[in-house]
Structure 1
Amino acid sequence: MAMCSSQADLVAIHSGGGGYTGYMTSAGVTVIADGTTEADERIQLSMTNDTAMGVMRYADAGYEDALDEAKKQNIQRFAL
């Protein structure tokens, strides 16, 4: 849902697939890069927030490298 608030053009949430049918939920995202100022903002928000979410997940799990990176990049964390 973070990608929705990051102004992505399309966010699809789906379950199943591979050998984990019914046990996995994942999301796909589409951001249209059409050269406009608005598209530039959507790309910046989506890509920055997607990467930050990965750092937050590892930080939440207690990985020191992720905790250090979150602090270094001033990533505002919340409990997941």
Structure 2
Amino acid sequence: MKNMDPITVTTHVSRDLLQNAAYFNTMPKLVWEYVANSLDAAKDNDPVVVIVDITSNYVTVSDNGVGMRIASQIIL
């Protein structure tokens, strides 16, 4: 394969946020997306932990962190 110059990609964050909000408009869709992303990014034998705390109204998805930058992680 021939060496190629790197490609720079930019995105419109506000537009992306609105599009994602429209798609992930329910809690089950949102939780499923985070779980699926964790499973996709997980290395073999690295655990993905999902904790659902009904009493406190929290869902925690934990993994080795290679799939997201800290700046893109959110608390809902």
TM-score normalised by length of structure 2? 0.30
TM-score normalised by length of structure 1? 0.29
The structure richer in helix per residue is 1
Give the number of the structure whose alpha-carbon radius of gyration is greater: 2
